[in-house]
A = this chain, B = another copy of it.
Amino acid sequence: MKTVLVLEGSSRPGGNTERLTNEMLEGIDRKTIYLREKTIVPIVDKRHDKEGFSKVDDDHDAIMKEVFKHDILIFSTPIYWYGMTGIMKNFIDRWSQTLRDSQFQMKKEMENKEAFVVLCGGDHPRIKGLPLIQQFQYAFDFIGLSFSDYVIGQGNKPGDVRNDRYAIHVAKALNLILKSKISF
């Protein structure tokens, strides 16, 4: 029985990305971490300092511990300025520190996990969101996390995504795929 964790990067509740994620996960048990509710300090790059990274007192380690517990990771973010939100970016930037943290073995932890990405945007997201998909691919490759698939929804006003038949169909397909993975 596999378990699902949603890393939710929206700046507010009830947006299109959250709705599309819910559509995709209908009937699927999951834990959701709303990154906006957490304290995540921007990384200070100390990879090349003699003393290395300084311990940071925020929620990042706790989130990573939760990440390591689950098999299927859903990265869910609205498209802000053609990228992930700054909130999610600060979370991911800190992976450079996690990778060097001796209390974790991040790459080893990631080996048997897989990731899905959920994006929503207002300006031609299925075209202009593609660089973001490529970035997720590069990032997942770097940490050894398998990138299974993604859905990109169109929407401006909250609720719009329900009228995006394309995205809703993809969400349904991913729902079936996820269900068969979980019970496998």
Using CB atoms and an 8 Å cutoff, list the residues of chain A in contact with chain B: 10-12, 15, 36, 42-46, 48, 78, 80-87, 89-93, 95-96, 123, 126-128, 130-135, 137-139, 142, 147, 149-150, 156-158, 165-166, 168-170, 172-174, 176-177
**A11, B43: Cβ atoms closer than 8 Å:** yes
**B82, A139: Cβ atoms closer than 8 Å:** yes
Could you say which residues of chain B place their CB within 8 Å of the CB of A44? 11-12
Q: Complex Cα distance A158/B47, Å? A: 10
Residue contacts A-B, CB under 8 angstroms, 23 given: A11-B43, A12-B46, A43-B86, A48-B156, A80-B89, A81-B92, A81-B95, A81-B96, A82-B135, A82-B138, A83-B83, A85-B93, A86-B86, A86-B89, A86-B90, A123-B142, A127-B133, A130-B130, A131-B131, A131-B135, A165-B176, A169-B170, A170-B170
